[in-house]
Amino acid sequence: MQNYEKDWQDYRHRRNVFLLVFLGYVPTDGLVAILSEKLFHTFRPAFVAASLWMAWFVYCGVRASRWRCPRCGNWFFGSWWYSLWPLAWRCVHCGLPKYAKEGQEFKGPGEPRLS
Ligand SMILES: [Zn+2]
């Protein structure tokens, strides 16, 4: 039997970083815009910060959606041409339930998902 707890912690960390980057965009770039306007009388640093933040946002989204299944090693949420992140509740390749603990299996439609 496998213990997937460290793998789920890694996934939660990636997901939480993505959410923080998402939620922090407007306040951070707004602060940079206010400070750059007061200090330098231009918004150019805010445009640079916004561009870098958006690139970071994309990176974090791709990193979270390409997280590998601890059981089969494939991308948990999809493949190279699609992604169900964050909506998939089990691995799209092997059926391992999201946040499954040791020995838990997906039983199929109509049956309890976690035993
Ligand atoms: Zn899998």
Tell me the mean pLDDT in the region 65-73: 95
Question: Hunting for tokens 């909506």 — which residue is that?
Answer: 87
Q: Rg of the Cα trace of the chain?
A: 19
Q: Report domain extents, the chain.
A: 5-69
Dist. CA 102 → ligand 1 center (Å): 14
Q: How confident is the model at residue 101 (pLDDT cuts 50, 70, 90)?
A: confident
Confidence check: pLDDT of 115 > 50: no
pTM, two decimals, is 0.81
Dist. CA 107 → ligand 1 center (Å): 14
Query: Pick from 87, 63, 52: which is nearest to 11 by CA?
Result: 63
Q: How confident is the model at residue 113 (pLDDT cuts 50, 70, 90)?
A: low
Dist. CA 52 → ligand 1 center (Å): 33
**Mind listing the pLDDT tens digit for each residue in 15-51?**
999 999 999 999 999 999 999 999 999 999 999 999 9
Tell me the mean pLDDT in the region 88-111: 79
Provide the pLDDT for residue 59: 97
